[in-house]
Amino acid sequence: MGEAVAEIEIEKAILVIESPFDGVVREVIAKPGSSVEPGSELMRVEVFGEDQDKGVGGQ
């Protein structure tokens, strides 16, 4: 939790996305360097202490 897991470049700035969960990144869904739409999934994180994987999404 709080560790930087992705950088998203927008016109105004570069957003360094912190993980909202404690866990391990299991799958990177958004291709590095590609454009993503708001609300799209960036990666899947296996969250410690929970059964389910959680997605880390863009804004």
11 is an interface residue for other proteins by CB under 8 A: yes
* Segment 29 to 58, residues that bind other proteins, using CB under 8 A: 56-57
CA atoms within 13 A on the CB side of 30: 20
**Is-contact 54 48, C-beta < 8 A?**
no
Stretch that binds other proteins, among 5-13, 22-30, 44-52 (CB under 8 A): 5-13
CA distance 18 to 2: 5
59 is an interface residue for other proteins by CB under 8 A: yes
- Residues at the interface with other proteins (CB under 8 A): 2, 4, 7, 9-18, 20, 56-57, 59
